[in-house]
Structure 1
């Protein structure tokens, strides 16, 4: 369990004047305020969240002790947005921050990466307040028939599928982008997505949510290239593209030209050989190619 610490000073990294991470007086977030629109009566059995929520002041000392590391907060953000409760812009506004701060924090990877970002503290306070009010993480309500139809690629076959060796022409970052976009679809759940991509292997595997979160938490064109999630997701999205009759992207065409036999998914992304005479550390371009100066 991460060690708690007190937010004792303003972070030195990118700041957002709309966020007060020290627990001083801030605008109170009313989590129970209904969205505009025609009200509809629900059955008592359908109401999952308590209706008489305790008020939690913005200067409540319990909001000042951060007990989640950066990766844990990022996982909560992904789960919350994946439920369809809010989109990125709405969530950034709800925590009192901006889309720019959201992107700065969410594109980092590591328990302490992003600890200097305002968004880290703002998001932690948001979820801690919900926890203190007894609010559970919302779950996306999806009809199984709709999800099955959305994910059905059973009529598409790819070369190399029987051997589990379909050549890949996307980077890990591109596949991550597609996964996150797909999971934001109102008719898709994380569990349903994992069940579907598991079918891409010759012998169907069980792919767990933790494996997905580990892959999504990485950053870099080849970061996560040996992951089963990377391979299975690529195969699924390629089948989805063919099923829907969509053309190849410019990125995809570039990857085919650079990697005629497919992107490397055997060599770990943090292992490379330094050629004799190389004076500086290698760098990786957006296509996952390693260059030496």
Structure 2
């Protein structure tokens, strides 16, 4: 059974599943909305005599990066909240995504072309084919919001978030802080490089994408 099918079957959200799976310890997750439905699901299977089988070792054809050319981990069985409408909320800055892209492209067997295919697959309402030129332009920028309206930013975020869930990794400390600072995700609908301030003042975005106004002298 695929992860997305399991989530629908026990009526839980991808975000709740992600948070639950990212916890470790026998008492961690007891208050999660995932715990009881998942327990009931497996208990019913147990009473019916159905044994859960461990996942088979992933084959190269399944997309695992095992040194083969043009291969990346498959995340086709993971679905995020809002993905079908291309409205996944983003909790990484553009700089965070650039770092993830750079690190990902250094993995054995990962190519730029294969990464672009995975990022392009993040779009559903209006299919897009992201290009190497777009990727290069995005990677050349600098700043938490520089590139926020690009397809690379959204597509890469969705792919990396699905990959994190697939690998069972917890949300990072910064990710949790980003959810508090940007409860509805980073802005992707318009540019964030303009702000009206008083004469003598200046402003910038900090590492979390928050606006910081520097008060100038009032003469």
Indicate whether the TM-score tops 0.5: yes
1:221 to 124, 128, 144: 144
Q: Does 1:252 align with 2:175?
A: yes
2:193 to 245, 270, 293: 270
- Structure 2 CA distance for partners of 1:188 and 1:282, relative to 1, 3 Å: same
5+ residue gaps, structure 2: 1-66
- The residue aligned with 2:22 is none
Q: Distance in 2 between matches of 1:252 and 1:187?
A: 27
Q: Does 1:143 align with 2:64?
A: no
Q: Does 1:285 align with 2:206?
A: yes
Q: Does 1:171 align with 2:86?
A: no
- The residue aligned with 1:188 is 110
SS in 2 for 1:282: strand
What is the Cα deviation at residue 219 of structure 1? 0.5
Structure with the larger RCO, 1 or 2 (CA within 8 Å, 6+ apart): 2
Contact kept, 8 Å, 1:151 with 1:193, in 2: the verdict is no
What is the Cα deviation at residue 278 of structure 1? 5.3
Counterparts of 1:1-293 in structure 2 under 5 Å?
A: 143-144=68-69, 147=71, 150-202=72-124, 203-272=126-195, 274-275=196-197, 277=198, 279-292=200-213, 293=215
Larger Rg: 1
What is the Cα deviation at residue 265 of structure 1? 1.1
